[in-house]
Structure 1
Amino acid sequence: MTAPADPFTPRLLTCDVLYTGMGGAQSPGGVVVVGETIAATGSPDDLRRAYPHAREEHVGSVIAPPPVNAHTHLDMSAYEFQALPYFRWLPEVVVAQRERRGVAGAQVGADTLARLGSGGVGDIVWSPDVMDALLDRADLSGVLYFEVLGAFPEHAGERFTALRERIEGWRARGLPDGLHLGITPHTPFTVSHRLMQLVTEYAHGEGLPMQIHVAEHPSEPELFATGGGPLWEHRLKPFMPETFAQIIGRDPEPGLTPVRYLDELGVLDRQPTLIHMVNVTPDDIARVARAGCAVVTCPRSNHHLECGVFPWTAFAAAGVEVAMGTDSVASGGSLNVRDDVAFARTLYPHLDPRVLVRAAVKGGHRVVGSRAPFIRRGETWRAEYVW
């Protein structure tokens, strides 16, 4: 009769990429676990020499703390995913399935993140009802960014007053530990220059983090350079002031980009997190780096909507902190950032996968203002460390 295995026999768990939450990642990597306690981390060869009797097992591609979904829309979690070009996806998915958007979808999304053991979330909250529901979730951590829209400058004051009253009301009710309020001025072209400035200064003064969708689709730089193009003609014109210049408070001109506009408006000085940032110029990247803004890329969503490829190596070379998000289920396909990491490995075959893993963990935690758990000696081993 074979004796049962000693539960305290060391186990050497090896992987292709190890990120402990500290410093840089390493490849390959390993973790020695004794019982439920982490005894050591490092290179597999070093660990084999230090623990020659350890039972070795290759557990997967990555060992790391759970990734942070640094940008998503939980209230769209009941949508059916469809990969369509951007200008088809908006009416055929977002509008066509709008009855599925709301509290029920947000609860499904929050349940999914809890099941995935997510390291945190940066969620864009579209309605007060959704915010009320998510603020009751003690199992969420991260930032809930309330979304602001308002392209008419003359309405900026009343829009801002309503926003401030809502934010102050939610803060007064108290938030679960680890959950914070933030604000999302939706985009530089759906929020007037006046409202953008009011919101930015308020957020800065109150210590509220911000996210802004910027340069997602190739039509956005064209809009700022010309005041027209497909984004204006096919999506915005019926709902906006007479001219784009009224929204941004200046004339469009060649060389004006969404990033340059935000920079010259003073918004980047307040270090909002910038989402997507696909269709940018070298000057845009330099401006973001100088301001110290972080960016969040959503690789699957950008691919599915045919928006382009985030220039990761250029941002990394400039020293910009990069995090990862799924965007909505409707565009990304799931809420699992691990899926975006896996997709990014095919999208960026020459980028070191250690960079991707670190972005999903450390970059995400920096964006939402939290800290990753450390995989180190003396800490408890958790099964969710294996991706």
Structure 2
Amino acid sequence: MNPPDALDGLFRIDAAGCADGTGFALAPASLLLRCSGPARLEVLAVGSPEAVSRHEAAGGACRLQRPHSILLPALVNAHAHLDLTHIGPQPFDQQGGFTGWIGMIRERRASGILPGIQSVRRGVGLCLMGGAAAVGDIVAGGPEAAQAQLRDGRLSGAAFLELLGIGPREPVAIERVRSWAADIRLGGPNGWGGLAVGLQPHAPYSAGMKLYQVAADLCRAAHAPFATHLAESRDEHELVAEGRGPLRDFLDSLGLWTTSLASCFGRGLSPVQFLYPVLRAIPTLAAHVNDCSDDDLNLLAQTRTSVVYCPRSASYFGHHADFGPHRYQDMLSVGINVCLGTDSIVNLPPQHADRLSTLDEMRFLWARDRFNPAKLLAMATIHGALSLGLDPNRFTLATPGAAYGGEGRRVAGIIGVDASDTDPALHPLIRVLESCSLPEWLPLPPEAAMEEGG
């Protein structure tokens, strides 16, 4: 049967199996859920069908049969650029390189608040299609655009206000972010749905160190999330370490390359080493970190940095040719919190343009690296939640067979993945990774809950 449209009630889902990022997996499996209002879902019991049948509330539940599906907790997309959704997937121009790609984005980014809102709303819908209940979104356009774009409440997580200002433009950018901080309340909740509001100095090549420090101080005082792009490309490394290369020429073309700015770069530091004073001062969500030496790895392990790895984005740009394989496994082994993000739709394959999903990132890594399936799911759920300041328990399932009284155990959502195209003898999570199916929200997606609840 199809999921009912009612928001309130008990639901039992009988499925081929279930799994979460703690290593818990079971086949077959049943979940007993209570839905009590918009976007509120509680797990009453999870376990074998026989165990769940013994729960006192099981008899009155609406039963949903998903005999070929594996049930998972809702996913987290820890790094996205939803305002670029209108651009769609684009081929990468090898001759123009990373810096040329930045120029293309500058030309095609939507101008004005309304087009940006429309692009973000479409991006939110694609996140939901991908099974994500939370996002770390990089928001261009300042607080007014962010509030209009993201207050619909369909996703939780963080909205990072993007900060650009380097060289002669840095003082103006500092005054702007101080003004923003006076006008809005950084952190959360902020009346913007489930999103906390944070700051994101864009990258070492587009935000000056003083701007980084001011933004970090504001976020630390407000207990707000803080993020940046870091160690993403060869062009970035050449600028930071050597003071030359395409990004230096790009800054010069904008009239931003000055003697004072030149003195900041070219000291032989890697991007991680360059930004280490900031990383040491505040927990940071660092997107990409494709460029990571052993020394960089040790420095990151000394901080409270979370790394958002975007595997398909790194493949799109060919960063492995410059830096070798991404060191996400080494990062995990030394205790760095590594999570997954999609980056923007621009760098995704055209055949995947109907969703923004960290499940696709998991499948990419499974096909390429055969990395531990439970750890992949943890990167797309628990680790992502931690990086955005969310309760990681809302992105797991309960202990098998456990029964919860009172209000139950609240979760961000439940998705099911049809694995009928895989071998039933495989581990449930491997079946998810080898399936080609899109996730299905059970019993209701957050979007439907919001529409029903107004």
Q: Please indicate the TM-score interval, normalised by the length of the shorter structure.
A: 0.7 to 0.9
Q: Distance in 2 between matches of 1:76 and 1:178?
A: 22
Shift of 1:342: 1.2
**Which segment drifts farther, 170-179 or 314-323?**
170-179
Shift of 1:162: 1.3
Pairing 1:120–2:131 present: no
Q: Distance in 1 between matches of 2:339 and 2:347?
A: 18
**1:115-154 counterparts in 2 under 5 A?**
115-128=129-142, 129-152=144-167
Q: Distance in 2 between matches of 1:297 and 1:70?
A: 9
Tell me what 1:302 maps to: 314
Q: Secondary structure at the match of 1:344?
A: helix
Tell me what 2:108 maps to: 97
Q: Is the 8 A contact 1:83 1:305 kept in 2?
A: no
**1:110-259 counterparts in 2 under 5 A?**
110-128=124-142, 129-152=144-167, 155-171=169-185, 174-233=190-249, 235-239=250-254, 241-243=256-258, 246-247=260-261, 250-254=264-268, 256-259=269-272
Q: Distance in 1 between matches of 2:216 and 2:389?
A: 18
Q: Distance in 1 between matches of 2:145 and 2:49?
A: 51
Tell me what 2:381 maps to: 361
Tell me what 1:40 maps to: 46
2:397 aligns with one of 363, 372, 375 = 375
Q: Structure 1, residues 295-346: CA drift from partner, whole Å, max 9, x if none?
A: 1011111111222242111111111001111111111354122111111212
Q: Structure 1, residues 114-154: CA drift from partner, whole Å, max 9, x if none?
A: 455522110000113531312431223111000001111x5
Q: Structure 1, residues 140-175: CA drift from partner, whole Å, max 9, x if none?
A: 3111000001111x5434322211222332339942
Q: Distance in 2 between matches of 1:33 and 1:271?
A: 36
Q: Secondary structure at the match of 2:302?
A: helix
Q: Distance in 2 between matches of 1:159 and 1:96?
A: 21
**1:260-279 counterparts in 2 under 5 A?**
260-263=273-276, 265-279=277-291
Pairing 1:67–2:78 present: no
Q: Is the 8 A contact 1:193 1:247 kept in 2?
A: no
Q: Is the 8 A contact 2:138 2:160 kept in 1?
A: yes
TM-score normalised over the length of structure 2? 0.71
Shift of 1:266: 3.6
Compared with structure 1, are the counterparts of its residues 67 and 249 closer, same or farther at alpha carbon in structure 2 (3 Å cutoff)?
farther
Q: Distance in 2 between matches of 1:257 and 1:217?
A: 11
Pairing 1:384–2:384 present: no
Q: Distance in 2 between matches of 1:159 and 1:51?
A: 56
Tell me what 1:4 maps to: none
Shift of 1:50: 6.1
Q: Which has the higher strand share?
A: 2
Amino acid at match of 1:134: Q
Compared with structure 1, are the counterparts of its residues 341 and 171 closer, same or farther at alpha carbon in structure 2 (3 Å cutoff)?
same
Q: Secondary structure at the match of 1:120?
A: strand
**1:324-335 counterparts in 2 under 5 A?**
324-332=340-348, 333=353, 334-335=355-356
1:347 aligns with one of 368, 392, 406 = 368
Q: Distance in 1 between matches of 2:235 and 2:67?
A: 46
Q: Is the 8 A contact 2:30 2:49 kept in 1?
A: no
**Which segment drifts farther, 95-104 or 223-232?**
95-104
Q: Secondary structure at the match of 1:70?
A: strand
Q: Secondary structure at the match of 1:168?
A: helix
Q: Distance in 2 between matches of 1:300 and 1:57?
A: 30
TM-score normalised over the length of structure 1? 0.82
Q: Distance in 2 between matches of 1:93 and 1:224?
A: 22
Q: Secondary structure at the match of 1:220?
A: helix
Shift of 1:29: 5.0
Tell me what 2:60 maps to: none
Q: Is the 8 A contact 2:309 2:339 kept in 1?
A: yes
Compared with structure 1, are the counterparts of its residues 365 and 51 closer, same or farther at alpha carbon in structure 2 (3 Å cutoff)?
closer
Which stretches in structure 1 are left out of the alignment for 5+ residues? 1-7, 42-46
Compared with structure 1, are the counterparts of its residues 89 and 59 closer, same or farther at alpha carbon in structure 2 (3 Å cutoff)?
farther
Q: Secondary structure at the match of 1:102?
A: helix
Q: Secondary structure at the match of 2:87?
A: coil
Amino acid at match of 1:168: A
Amino acid at match of 2:274: Y
Percent identity, please.
23
Amino acid at match of 2:15: L
Q: Secondary structure at the match of 1:384?
A: strand
Pairing 1:87–2:98 present: yes
Q: Distance in 2 between matches of 1:272 and 1:240?
A: 30
Q: Structure 1, residues 189-243: CA drift from partner, whole Å, max 9, x if none?
A: 111122222222222122221110001112222222211123323x333125335
Tell me what 1:5 maps to: none
Amino acid at match of 1:40: V
Tell me what 2:430 maps to: none
Question: How many corresponding residue pairs?
Answer: 364
Q: Distance in 1 between matches of 2:262 and 2:304?
A: 23
Q: Is the 8 A contact 1:13 1:56 kept in 2?
A: yes
Q: Secondary structure at the match of 2:415?
A: helix
Amino acid at match of 2:271: P
